[in-house]
Amino acid sequence: MLEIRGLDVAYGDYQVLWDVSIDVAAGEIVAILGPNGSGKSTVLKAIIGLCRARSGTIRFEGNDLARLAVHDRAGIGIAMVMERRRLFPAMTVRENVLLGAYPAAVRHDAEARLGWVEGLFPILRERGAQPAGRLSGGEQQMVAIARGLMAKPRLLLMDEPYLGLAPKVVLQINDIIRRINAEGIAVVFNEQNVNLSFALAHRGYLLESGRLMLGGTGQEMLHSDVVRRVYLGE
Amino acid sequence: MTAMPIALYIEQIVNGLVAGSMYALVGGGIALIYGTMRVLNMAHGEFYMMGGYAAFYLVGRSVPPVLAIPLVAGLLFLVGAAVQRLTVHYLLRQDGWLFACIAATLGLSIAFQNLALIVFGEDYKTVPYYVEGILRLGDIRLPLQRVLMLLVAVGTLLAMGFLLKKTRFGWALRATSQDSDAASVCGIPVSRVHMITFGLSAALGGVAGAMLAPIYSVSPWMGLPVLFKGFVVVVLGGLGSFPGAIVGGLLLGIVEALGVQITSAEWRDVFGFALMIVVVWARPWGLFGKAP
Amino acid sequence: MFQPLRLNALLTAVVAALVVLGLPLLGVGSYVLHVMILIMIFAIFAVAYNLVTGYLGLKTFGHHAFFGLGAYGSALISIHLGIGAWASLWIGAALAAAFGLFIGLPILRIKSMAHVAVVTLAFAEIVRLSCSNLKGLTRGELGLWGIPAFQALHLPLVGEVVFSPANKIGYYYLAALLLGMTLLATAVILRSKIGLAILAIRDGEDAAESLGVNLTRIKLGVFAVSAFMVGVAGAFYAHYVGILTPSAAIGADLMILVIAMVLVGGLGTFAGPLVGAVLLTSSAESLRFLDQYRLLVYGGLIVLIVLFAPRGLASLRLPGRRVPERPA
């Protein structure tokens, strides 16, 4: 459903991605792995449109995304949970979640989806009237995922979903991602820790210094020499 | 201080509230734009000026004020949206956009002033009161024009409050002001929100200009002093906070009305600016807000 | 970046200096000298404004306050204390610098550019309103007149130099001298260790912190120097035109004009303010018949420059030349 070919991305004169090609099939969970500064985040940002591709194509269900502005990509079935949650801190939890259903294409059945999302995250009902900025990091992550799901995505991007969360919360998040995935939603997330990633992901891609080094299933990747070299410097 | 009948005091305070409600309209507009775009709009006084001229020509062609005021608001909305789309929209993408926006709106301000000078001439235009008559409550006497100003300001601000709190667009605007990237990821068309916000801000300024036109006269230069008042108001209320601007506006209006007893009108603005500098020095987030 | 002086830059500077110094010897009329004097006054102002806004990165919008303080300060001192213009000029400039220190302290504490803009504007308004309200001292908008001119000088070789409306040559060379001193001071500051720190400040406070310099003190010092320079321009202006009104000497129009000059020439470049002062002053004078449209054009010009040539005209005019990229 998602097809990235030969993606180059640069910030000014500083190129961060070189010729990256990635595929995601419908209903898959894909991890993008790599050390700090390898360009993992940039891949996700390029898919949603927060940074522009210098060259290469990104296609979603056959449509070239290059012509679509960031806000239009939400309406066609892509949602993103941003790094560090990025909730609207002064708005209530409920307002945050409902804003996820802003695109006209997904607005009509927002109420029904709200019921489903509230089933996944009971906290939304309990603390719906509180400003989102008052929640703990783990709680904010739940709200951020809920906000993403309100856009009725077929592809959910998660930028560093585990960042700054307690181990117990990480397990909770994993559980939720599995339940989301069981609904047929493809998930792409990035993470540094290989073992943690393959507790969840079906397949993964390894980035180093902005170049794609390897792609494969969890078993292939966990036993790969390249992964060992990149992470352990062997 | 000379002893003054209590009714006169109340009159002063009410007059202060009326003036303050106008400051709140102007300051609210500056706050909206700064809050959503972090742009300090130096041309805001000219939206106010255009509102004054629009009222002068509409009322002069015997359009009833009931119609004229909404027309002025609509007209200024279009002007504001156009200004944003043609200038600020592009500047927001530049490297040094903070300074670029201040400089560009300063340039616009000067250009609009002198355009008005060429088009409308340098004579001061007077606009008749929209309503004649005086409201009497016991010893308190209030010209109906001032009552109308207060009502229009309260009505406009309530409508803005409703828009911000209860409508989809209001949610989108608040989301954009808190985190524009996250807003666009949610599917909110940030550029359009910016443009509409500019339009709304201009409309607020235009309504203030139209309502004050019968009190002060209309001239190309009427915007600058009001812009400065607006700055004082938004700094008092915390730059970028719409409710803060309203409270700041009312506060400034009342303080000025009572302050006339203590000092001459000439020095009033000096104290206003000095107060503002002290507030920026001591509480840059405003009198009421919390430190970040 | 402030690069080492290259040969052609040096040559341009020498030629420009020779032209400026030689112009009166060509027997040009008094009007041309007048325009040149205005250009040089504005050039001092623009260079000083650029020092703070372009190099230091502190975007102020109230520098016209220092012009007014220098002008009124020097004029009032020479009128009331009977001190000659030669001395009062420096006292007026020192007054501007003192106010620069006074207002510089609070604005240097502020991180938000919008707050700096509002505070500096308000400060200039306070100065203007005060000059306008203190009618007993300044005569307000009626105008302060009777400001003494510079006393005549007896110079060896040259003989007597007089300063009068009829003979502008003295004013001309004095303005050139003051502009030269301003440029020299600016160059010295930018090429010193302080200059390095200033550029580091512009490119990021962290980088400057790591140089181990006291940022606040340097910024404050440069701000005061800039205020002093603008004060000199104001004081010279006062004794040159002989009459001051708050709206002419401290009006926001003045600031807008200087901002336009600096933007046209190129913010944060050494020659930019000079180019801008020459272009805008001379075009304003040669388009006198368009007087009504002058401010409209300046306002529109600022908008266009900011939109289409944010690095100034120099970056547009020479398509072949590479414009140095500033690191983001």
Nearest Cα of chain B lies from the Cα of A70 at a distance, in angstroms, of 6
- Quote the minimal CA–CA distance from A69 to chain B in Å: 9
Record: contact C325-A11, CB cut-off 8 A:
no
Contact with chain C for residue A225, Cβ under 8 A:
no
- B165-208: pLDDT as tens digits: 999 999 999 999 999 999 999 999 999 999 999 999 999 999 99
Tens digits of residue pLDDT in B257-275: 887 777 777 888 888 899 8
Calpha distance A84→B239 (Å, rounded): 26
pLDDT at C28: 82
Q: Which residue has 């009833």 as its token pair?
A: B64
Q: What confidence score (pLDDT) does residue C118 get?
A: 94
Which residue of chain C is at minimal alpha-carbon distance from B268?
C129
Q: How many residues does chain B have?
A: 292
Query: pLDDT tens track of chain B, all 292 residues?
Result: 455 678 888 888 899 999 999 999 999 999 999 999 999 999 999 999 999 999 999 999 999 999 999 999 999 999 999 999 999 999 999 888 999 999 999 999 999 999 999 999 999 999 999 999 999 888 888 899 999 999 999 999 999 999 999 999 999 999 999 999 999 999 999 999 999 999 999 999 999 999 999 999 999 999 999 999 999 999 999 998 999 999 999 999 998 888 777 777 788 888 889 988 988 888 888 888 777 6
SS3 at position B126: coil
Query: Per the CB < 8 Å rule, is C114 touching B280?
Result: no
Quick one: pLDDT at residue C4? 53
Task: Give the pairing of strands A14-24 and A2-11.
Answer: antiparallel
Q: 3-state SS string over chain C?
A: CCCCCCHHHHHHHHHHHHHHHHHHHHCCCHHHHHHHHHHHHHHHHHHHHHHHHHHCCCCCCCCHHHHHHHHHHHHHHHHHCCCCHHHHHHHHHHHHHHHHHHHHHHHHHCCCHHHHHHHHHHHHHHHHHHHHHCHHHHCHHHCECCCCCCCCEEECCCEEECCCCCCCHHHHHHHHHHHHHHHHHHHHHHHCHHHHHHHHHHCCHHHHHHCCCCHHHHHHHHHHHHHHHHHHHHHHHHHHHCCECHHHHCCHHHHHHHHHHHHHHCCCCCCHHHHHHHHHHHHHHHCHHHHHHHHHHHHHHHHHHHHHCCCCCHHHHCCCCCCCCCCC
> What is residue B268's predicted lDDT score, i.e. its pLDDT?
85
In this prediction, residue C207 carries a pLDDT of 61
Predicted local distance difference test score (pLDDT) of residue C193: 82
Q: Please, what is the average pLDDT of chain B?
A: 92
**B181 and A74 in contact by Cβ < 8 A?**
no
Instruction: Kindly state whether C325 is in contact with chain A, defined as any CB-CB distance less than 8 angstroms.
Output: yes
With vertex at residue B20, the alpha carbon angle to CA B19 and CA B25, rounded to the nearest 5 degrees, is 100
Per-residue confidence (pLDDT) for residue C196, from 0 to 100: 81
Q: What are the residues whose beta carbons fall under 8 Å from the beta carbon of A91, sequence distance 6 or more?
A: A99, A131, A132, B171, B174, B175, B178
Q: Please write the tens of the pLDDT for every residue from A28-86.
A: 999 999 988 899 999 999 999 999 999 999 999 999 999 999 999 999 999 999 999 99
ipTM comes to 0.94
Residues of A in contact with C328 (CB under 8 A): 11-12
Q: Are A204 and A32 in contact (CB under 8 A)?
A: yes
Domain ranges within chain B, ordered by starting residue:
22-222
Q: Is A110 on the interface with B (CB under 8 A)?
A: no
Q: Which uninterrupted H or E stretch holds A30?
A: strand A29-33
Q: What is the pLDDT of residue C316?
A: 58
Taking CA atoms, what residue in C is nearest to B266?
A: C133
Query: Which amino acid makes up residue A150?
Result: M
Q: CA-CA distance, C2 to A98, in Å (whole number)?
A: 52
Query: C306 to chain B: which residues are within 8 Å by CB?
Result: 91, 100, 103-104, 107
Q: How many Å lie between the alpha carbon of C202 and the closest alpha carbon of chain A? A: 19
CA distance C325 to chain A (A): 10
Q: Do A74 and B185 touch (CB under 8 A)?
A: yes
Low-confidence ranges of chain C (pLDDT < 50): 1-2, 317-328
Query: Is B186 in contact with B175 (CB distance < 8 Å)?
Result: yes
Q: How far, CA to CA in Å, does C286 sit from each of A224, B49, C40, C278, C279?
A: 77, 31, 17, 12, 10
Which residue does chain A place closest to B172, by CA atoms? Answer: A99
Q: What is the pTM of this model?
A: 0.91
Inter-chain touch B179–A147, beta carbons under 8 Å: no
Strand partners, B123: none
In angstroms, the Cα distances linking B71 to B78, B159, B248, B257, C26 are 11, 16, 27, 31, 62
Q: If you measure CA to CA, which chain A residue comes closest to B168?
A: A102
The closest CB to that of B186, out of A49, A50, A102, belongs to A102
Task: Kindly give the pairing relationship between strand A203-208 and strand A186-191.
Answer: unpaired
The DSSP annotation for A169-181 comes to HHHHHHHHHHHHH
Partners of C58 on chain B (C-beta within 8 Å) are none
pLDDT at C324: 44
C-alpha closest to that of B106 among A182, C300, C290, A78: C300
The residue of chain C with its CA nearest to that of A11 is: C328
Q: Which residues of chain A have pLDDT under 50?
A: none
For the record, the structure tokens of A222 come out as 């966990």
Q: Which of A80, A82, A88, A91 has the highest number of chain B CBs within 10 A, making it the mutation to test binding with B? A: A88
